[in-house]
Structure 1
Amino acid sequence: MGCRPNLIGDPRFPGSRGRQQQEEQWLNPAAFEAGFGSSPGIINAPDPSVFDEWWRFGNMGLRNPAVRAPGYWNLDVSLSKEFHLTESRYFSFRWEIYNALNHQNLGIPNTDWCLPPNPDGSVDLVHQFGCQFGKITNVQTDPRAMQFGLKFYW
């Protein structure tokens, strides 16, 4: 389905939720409906004139300030030491750690608009099997990595 949905509620979930819940559903799917409304008659209508409704854009703008990705933070650490042999000759040792705390930042939620199957298990153009809307399926950061460096200056 390629149309912009109607925003009918707050896309953020109220209160605090666990990490697993956030990954499974970052956006509240109950806050959105199809741009042509939620009438199943439109989806199953045999009248071709009703299909014009399918191409109507919803009221949600392209950049809604309420629809945000999770925050991102990272800590990189570096230590260095110079070992002088003479005034002009010395070794420089570096130890660098990227993502030192090994913190996993969640990726961007999927915004391909669809909804999971209806409570009775039925599917249509809006309610689809395998719907990933609002789910976070990746991470933005790499795991902790270290590198060492040793240079000789002369």
Structure 2
Amino acid sequence: MFEILPWGARRELETLRREMDRLWEGFFGERRGLEPEVWAPALDLSETKDKLIVKAELPGVDPKDVDVSLTGNVLTIKGEKKEEKEEKEENYHTIERRYGSFMRSIRLPVEVEEDKIEASYKKGVLKIVLPKSEKAKPKGIKIKVE
């Protein structure tokens, strides 16, 4: 037999079913390791009149283990966050920090002067300053008054 449900109740049951499916997939997916989490640094890209600035969070990463490259207008940051090894025996209860290789690429919105790019690392943040090419800088246009 068919059961008649009010429209709102049918929607609530469907929402509940989807939420339960999501919970079960998350629980069993993590346990089986079906979808390993990939560690990648968070990036900010900002722009001024003369330059682009990229900041990447790289806490715990040795700057010697980071490589920055530019191909065309794609900036790539790659490297490795190495796991700290200690001599004493430790029994972990929770492990949330991520380790391993990473790579982030970001398409730059304008052309930059490749030979004038500067990179610095301070307090776990990599800062890359990319001067805009002369073609990319905004040009003022004078208006003739007649």
More helix per residue: 2
TM-score range normalised by the length of the shorter chain: under 0.3
Q: TM-score, normalised by structure 2?
A: 0.27
In the superposition, the TM-score normalised over structure 1's length comes to 0.26
Structure (1/2) with the larger strand percentage: 2
Identify the structure with bigger relative contact order (alpha carbons < 8 Å, sequence gap 6+): 1
